[in-house]
Structure 1
Amino acid sequence: MHLEMRDGYMLDDPSFIAWQEDRRLVLDDPESQWWRQLVAEAVARGVAVRRARIVSEPLSAYTHFEYAITSAHNAAAGEQVRWLPRRQATGLALPGNDFWLFDGEVLLVNHFDGNGEWVDTETVTAPEVVKHCKEAFEAVWERSVPHEDYRPAT
C-alpha cells in the first residue's frame, strides 16, 4: 500500500521536465524500468500493489504529469492506482506523511521538504502506528476513484 498526499514531488525530475516541455512521457530511463519490473514481479507472485493519491483539484502541474504517466508506467506494471480529490478527504484521519506499508507490518515513511524534495525515509514497526496508517489507507481507498475512471476537475 502506498499513500501519496503531496501535490508535487522532486520537481527537478528529468521525466517531469520532459513532460512539461512537450507532454512527452519518458519511460525508458533505468529507474522507471526497474520500478515496472519490480512491481510486475510482485504482482506475478500474487502481491496486490495499491497506490492511492490524495490530490488537490484543479491538479498541479506535477499531478497532471502523474496522471498522464500512470497508465503507461504504474498500471502497465500491474499497480492498482486510485485518486481521491482532497475535498473528499476532509473527514478522514490521515497520517502526516506519505508512506508505504509492506505486509501490514512494516511502514516506510517518506519525508520531503517544503519543495517536494525527498529528505529521507523512516522505518516504523510500532503496531499502533502501522494500524493507523493501514486504516487511513483503506479509508482513502474506499472513497477514491480507480485510475481508469478518474477524470480530474478543471
Structure 2
Amino acid sequence: MASITDREFDELLASGFVREAVHLETRDAYGTAVELPHMAQWVAGEPDDLAWLDGWCDQLKLHVAAGRSVRRVRIVSEPLSDYQRWSYSIASPMVNAGEDIRWIPRKGVSSIGLPGNDYYLFDERLVVFLHYAGNGLGIDKTASTDPADILLCRMAFETVWPLAIPHYEYTPIV
C-alpha cells in the first residue's frame, strides 16, 4: 500500500470512478480541519448555512447525472456521540444531492468482519484506507489494488449495506 496525497484523493472523489464509490465509516468521532469549525458552531447553538458543503453536493449531483452512485454507511454507537449527532444534522444536503447515506448501530455489526480502517472503494478496483489519530484527526490515506483488500472491503460493505437504515428513516438515539 502506498500513501496518497489529499489532492490525489480529491481527484479520485471527483473523477476516479466510473460506476460507484462506497464509503464505510466506523468511528464515533472525527476531527477534520474543514469540519471542526462548523461543529463548534453547532455545539454553540449558532446557525450554519452549510454553504461549505456546496462543493461536495455539486460533485454528487454530477455523479448522479452521469449514472454513478455514491453510497456511505456510518457504523455508530448509540446514544450517538456529539460528532455523529452533528453529522446527522448536516447529512440532508448530501442525501438530497444524491449520496445514499445509511446508518447502522454498532451492535448490529458485532458478528460482521470489518476492515480495521474506514475506506472508500472505487469501482471494485481501488480501495483507499483512511487512517486517523486517536483524537479523530486524519493522518494518512493509503491506496491498494490488492485483490484481497478489495474483496475484504466489498464483502464488508455489501454485508452491512442491507442492514443499515436509510438516512431519512433512521431515528438517532441521543
Q: TM-score, normalised by structure 1?
A: 0.93
* Structure-1 residue corresponding to 2:149: 129
Q: For 2:48, which of 19, 25, 29 is the aligned residue?
A: 25
Query: 5+ residue gaps in structure 2?
Result: 1-21
> Contact 1:15–1:26 at 8 Å: present in 2 too?
no
For the pair 1:45 / 2:45, whether they are aligned, the reply is no
What RMSD in Å do the two structures reach over aligned CA positions? 1.3
For the pair 1:120 / 2:150, whether they are aligned, the reply is no
Secondary structure, in 3 states, of the residue corresponding to 2:127? strand
Deviation at 1:18, TM superposition (A): 1.0
Q: For residues 109 and 39 of structure 1, what CA distance do their matches in structure 2 show?
A: 21
Deviation at 1:23, TM superposition (A): 5.5
Query: Where does 1:143-154 land on structure 2 (aligned, <5 Å)?
Result: 143-154=163-174
Q: What is the CA deviation profile of residues 122-145 of structure 1, one whole-angstrom value per residue up to 9, with x for unaligned ones?
A: 011100110110110111111111
Name the CA shift for 1:23/1:50 in 2 (closer, same or farther; >3 Å). farther
Q: What is the CA deviation profile of residues 23-73 of structure 1, one whole-angstrom value per residue up to 9, with x for unaligned ones?
A: 6334112xx22211111111111111100000000000000001101112x
For the pair 1:75 / 2:95, whether they are aligned, the reply is yes
Query: 5+ residue gaps in structure 1?
Result: none
* Structure-2 residue corresponding to 1:8: 29
Q: For 1:104, which of 120, 124, 130 is the aligned residue?
A: 124
* Structure-2 residue corresponding to 1:86: 106
> Contact 2:32–2:138 at 8 Å: present in 1 too?
no
> Contact 1:25–1:69 at 8 Å: present in 2 too?
no
Q: For residues 23 and 87 of structure 1, what CA distance do their matches in structure 2 show?
A: 33
Q: For residues 57 and 41 of structure 2, what CA distance do their matches in structure 1 show?
A: 19
Q: Amino acid of the residue matched to residue 42 of structure 2?
A: W
Deviation at 1:14, TM superposition (A): 1.0
Name the CA shift for 1:126/1:11 in 2 (closer, same or farther; >3 Å). closer
Q: How many residues matched?
A: 151
For the pair 1:64 / 2:66, whether they are aligned, the reply is no
Deviation at 1:76, TM superposition (A): 2.1
Identity of aligned residues (%): 40
